[in-house]
Amino acid sequence: MRWALVRVSLAVTVMVVLAFAVPLGLVVKELARDRAFADAERQAAQIRPALAITTDRDQLERAVASSQAGGDGRMAVHIPGGDGVPQGEGADAREGHQAYDIGPRRADPHAVETARRGRSAVTSVPGGYALLQPTALSTGEFAVVEVYVPHRAVGNGVTTSWVILAGVGLGLIAGSLVTADRLGLRLVRPAERLAKAAVELGEGKLGVRVREDGPAELRAAAVAFNSMADKIVQLLSHERELAADLSHRLRTPLTVLRLNAASLGEGPAAEQTRAAVAQLEREVDQLIRAAREQGEQKERPTLGCDACEVIRDRMDFWSALAEDEGRTVRLSGVDETVRVPVARPELAAALDAMLGNVFRHTPEGTDFAVDVHHSDDAVIVLVSDAGPGITDPDAALRRGHGDGGPGSTGLGLDIVRRVAESTGGDVRIGRSVLGGTEVRVWLSPDGGGSRHRERRRRVRRGRPRR
């Protein structure tokens, strides 16, 4: 916007300067020409009194020499005569006198004869112009006073005036550009602050606000943005309170469940039940603590975890349950250390969501497998089963649409998706080699974004279907 305003101002100012400077320059040139010829007429008028009194050559030569133009050799006087043959020195102005000229003659004889008829004229001569001014004599005839006007006199001061006009025009253009830039900056800065605040709000900085200044429209936008941010903070606060209240309500049934689990006696099943109840209680406590945090959440660096270690730990829990239901479990690719930029509880929750779906939405005895593949720029976790599969994979990934069976809340795969996208990865659902559902979770080890997505698209295009 800023540079657009500058360009518009430049175009308008240039057009205005040209519209005024070009005609003004021509007027200056015409004024200089008129001034030069007016001065020539004034010089010619100085010799008229002498011509009205006498036509004596000596007296006229002295009169011509006393004038400025005559002293500079720019004036000539053409006296009419009978046969055109010059008369001797000292002839007086009597009838029948012969024509003669005083001073250097530059004009064409025909132009002189034309001016002698009583009409002033300007004719071009080598090096300039000649002003021919007729003057009546006492005899009734007309003498012609010729004043030479050189080109430099006609253009005297024109170049200087044009340079001044050009300087003024450039100054106006520069001033308009500076003014437009300042005005554009006044418009752009509030818009830039608003855009920056929107980006920061999208990144989770809920305390960001915009200063309400600038033009009226941008002030209104800033007021709306600040109101929206306050509303978002209020809604999130209410959501945290609701999550904390709901989680707190689980304490009573958890206490009863823990007491019942304690009365189960000894045995592997009882120990697994008590361990599951303890894990559930810890998760509820953690959820309450997270939901009760007030104020602005500051960004903290993600320390990450070893994905293989988390998968091995969670598979120890789910393998025991799979053994009770007669499920065959295959685990591969978890022998190495693979770091991912995800907190350990979040990765464990995502893995529990995927494995929990297998146990909830497939019959007992259905086999499943967990595979881990990793490289320098990708960590892929595959959870496959031999169940009936998911009829609508796209709907399963949308929050609230269900994970694929009755009683589903639709939040399990959404948790997995958010964990993957937090690293710049994604989640895909397809058909597994076991015949059921395959959930593929792509994690980026360095948290990269677009370039990893592009590389994944190329890999998917070149990878054969299983």
One DSSP character per residue, 119-153 reads --EEEEETTEEEEEEEEE-TTS-EEEEEEEEEHHH
pLDDT at 133 over 60: yes
Task: Write down the H helix ranges in 203-250.
Answer: 216-249
pLDDT at 252 over 70: no
Comparing 84-93, 97-106, 138-147, 285-294, the range with the smallest average pLDDT is: 84-93
pLDDT at 239 over 80: no
Comparing 89-103, 260-274, 438-452, the range with the smallest average pLDDT is: 89-103
Comparing 185-199, 264-278, 383-397, 438-452, the range with the smallest average pLDDT is: 438-452
pLDDT at 258 over 60: yes
Residues 6+ apart with CB under 8 A from 6: 177, 180, 181, 184
Q: CATH number of the domain at 129, please.
A: 3.30.450
Q: Is residue 437 part of a domain?
A: yes
Residue 69 banded pLDDT, cuts 50, 70, 90? confident
Residue 448 is predicted with a pLDDT of 54
Residue 368 banded pLDDT, cuts 50, 70, 90? very high
Cα 240 → chain centroid: 39
Q: Is residue 241 part of a domain?
A: no
Residue 441 banded pLDDT, cuts 50, 70, 90? very high
Residue 407 is predicted with a pLDDT of 43
Read off the pLDDT of each residue in 268-288 and give the average, rounded to a whole number: 76
Task: Read off the pLDDT of residues 320-356 as tens digits, 9 standing for 90 and up.
Answer: 888 888 889 999 998 988 889 888 888 888 888 888 8
Comparing 68-82, 190-204, 253-267, 358-372, the range with the smallest average pLDDT is: 253-267
Task: Read off the pLDDT of residues 163-178 as tens digits, 9 standing for 90 and up.
Answer: 898 898 899 888 888 8
Considering the chain, what percentage of its residues have pLDDT values greater than 90?
Answer: 7
Comparing 42-51, 342-351, 417-426, 445-454, the range with the smallest average pLDDT is: 445-454
pLDDT at 381 over 80: yes
Q: Is residue 123 part of a domain?
A: yes
pLDDT at 68 over 90: no
Q: Is residue 450 part of a domain?
A: yes
Residue 63 structural domain: 46-156
Read off the pLDDT of each residue in 286-296 and give the average, rounded to a whole number: 56
Q: CATH number of the domain at 427, please.
A: 3.30.565.10
Compute and round to an integer the Cα radius of gyration of the chain. Answer: 52
Q: Is residue 99 part of a domain?
A: yes
Read off the pLDDT of each residue in 239-264 and give the average, rounded to a whole number: 70
pLDDT at 418 over 80: yes
**What CA–CA distance (Å, rounded) separates 10 from 18?**
12
Residue 385 is predicted with a pLDDT of 92
Residue 292 is predicted with a pLDDT of 56
Instruction: Decide: residue 220, CB within 10 A, 0-12 exposed, 13-18 middle, 19+ buried.
Output: exposed
The total number of structural domains in the chain stands at: 2
Q: Is residue 253 part of a domain?
A: no
Helix, strand, coil in percent for the chain, rounding step 5: 55, 15, 30
Domain end call among 156, 190, 221: 156
Model pTM score: 0.43
Residue 296 banded pLDDT, cuts 50, 70, 90? very low
Domain end call among 123, 138, 156: 156
Considering the chain, what percentage of its residues have pLDDT values greater than 70?
Answer: 81
**What CA–CA distance (Å, rounded) separates 433 from 464?**
13
pLDDT at 298 over 80: no
Mean pLDDT across the chain: 78
Residue 384 banded pLDDT, cuts 50, 70, 90? very high
Q: Between 111 and 251, whose confidence is greater?
A: 111
Residue 302 is predicted with a pLDDT of 47
pLDDT at 313 over 80: yes
Comparing 44-48, 63-67, 191-195, 291-295, the range with the smallest average pLDDT is: 291-295
Q: Is residue 3 part of a domain?
A: no
Instruction: Decide: residue 104, CB within 10 A, 0-12 exposed, 13-18 middle, 19+ buried.
Output: exposed
Comparing 49-53, 98-102, 268-272, 421-425, the range with the smallest average pLDDT is: 98-102
Q: Is residue 340 part of a domain?
A: yes
Residue 411 is predicted with a pLDDT of 61
Beta carbons of 76 and 94 less than 8 angstroms apart: no
Domain end call among 113, 135, 156: 156
Residues 6+ apart with CB under 8 A from 305: 339, 340, 342, 343, 344, 347
